[in-house]
Structure 1
């Protein structure tokens, strides 16, 4: 005789992907138990929103999708079902008015993550979400999920389960990748975790010390075939910032870094400016006046281009492609996100694990990566919605 499960739907992980899956199941009228290992929900979400919560990116869908690189084809159905416009509508449905910045980044007007999370949890609680914190999932015993809880060992059976356990960065906030061993024991062949959206290790000379903390603005970064226009910060350990993060895949694989210090000028225009008579001015003052290079940019040029060529065209070429030696990305736990995890080959089109029918995956635990700027959160929400919808279908057809 078959016994009823403890809950129709179990969601493990209380970040954006897990909450979206829970929301979808609850909205369809199914009872949901959500288990989170940390003392509170959405800890990484709140941390990411401390400097301004970037919800999504308002841009044509083709370029938006291209930001996901090798996972573009696999994520297309999910992102088509929950577009950047849908993300804005979802946030505004929770009472958070949004605005779009000059670069297309979309933010809530309050800029913070906490009001959005509070409104979302209030909505979920109002629909009857049963949530437990400090419940750490430790695997399966037969058909039951096993949890270490403050009250001791618990076993939960469910009609469907959604795993939304995050990647392997920011372990103190819950994304520790410890689930990988559990899935590996189930025969899931995982892609190794690797840092993404991480700072770059650069061994500066003492000459650069006065510029630690200074931004590099109006520059373009190149590594391999990847190019990014944006801002980065000179830190004691190297370079970090949104302008550099899109190059993580190439830099992680050992590609050299080049910086165009004057991306708005062609080589010919730059050469013409450098050919102007400088009189008794020092070359540094000449560069400052004719190119408007900031002190930090000039310092970077002096760090890696000395002795500077006297010929204007040769100097222009150096400025347009300044080679910056580096020692690779910062360690994984210092990265904003990770590549690796559950490959799409281990999942069916519904994001259900082939090795565990009835168990779905969502969010950063799946093997995809994207730069910061709204892409990460959008894909977490979209995969959570997709997994939740298919979990609903399974419940309602069985």
Structure 2
């Protein structure tokens, strides 16, 4: 017999009717595949690299935009600086014509922009300062006696002072006869070289001069206080005499042989300090006038009373932005730059050597042919290239121009 099913049917508790069976549920989902996780990781890595690339691009773009902005600001401020410089030069020309030369800002040109009524653009300020470069000793014209006196003023012992002066002159002058026991042998060094036989073009040339290297630099090769005093009292520009109205204390003592009291009195008179505080800054019309301040002693033969080289510093500010121009000017017949003289001499020598060599190659025999007759000058640019430059009749000679980063704490470096 077939067994009856013992499974009870579900009935509704309210009316006892049978409850239909529940439909079968959905089949269980299979477990996720491992390949989907790998795709997510790849996508995340791609997004990460894309983010880094975007950040790098944004950073570079920001730097480029900042550079462009600074260059645009610099161009605007540069125009303002040179405009102010031209106004300053125009004022100096007026004072030079009236006073037969420039002597000192105490003449009234200490504020040239205010004198001319110059107003900078809105939101900008312009500051002008002066430094009498000819108030220093002209290194190309300085002799051993003056150099030795200068070093003695710094407290250097006389034998060492004479040695330093001797090696400096040996570096700057051809066929110099050394008077000290030390005679440098540059050609036998680890890197052989020869003395240039011309004045310094840079104060950092002192590092190449034997004995002077140890005197002007410390053990780490950095400029010391002697180097800074050398820069403050000696100019690299070539001018015949020092301007008494801008002379430093050390220069007055070394060149004029004034004692400490005389030097202090002259300095106070020029600056309007000490005993002359009530009368303000003054100047001398000629070097002989210094006798009424310093007394009869002293030597003023090496001094002049007019400026041969003047450094003009122009600073333009607009908010946090700043632009600086520093230029050295000279009146006609005043100072000259050493590098221009040396370059001209070297160019003439090279030209003469090349010309002689060409003649020897064209005419190797002893008998020389007669020079050809002068023919017509070639037309076009060749004829104009040999023409002298146009005379602009500019009132000053520009010996040096430096801008922003080219300006050093110590000029001429």
TM class by shorter chain equals under 0.3
| TM-score, normalised relative to structure 2 | 0.22
| TM-score, normalised relative to structure 1 | 0.22
Q: Which has the higher helix share?
A: 2
Structure whose alpha-carbon radius of gyration is higher: 2
Q: Which has the higher strand share?
A: 1
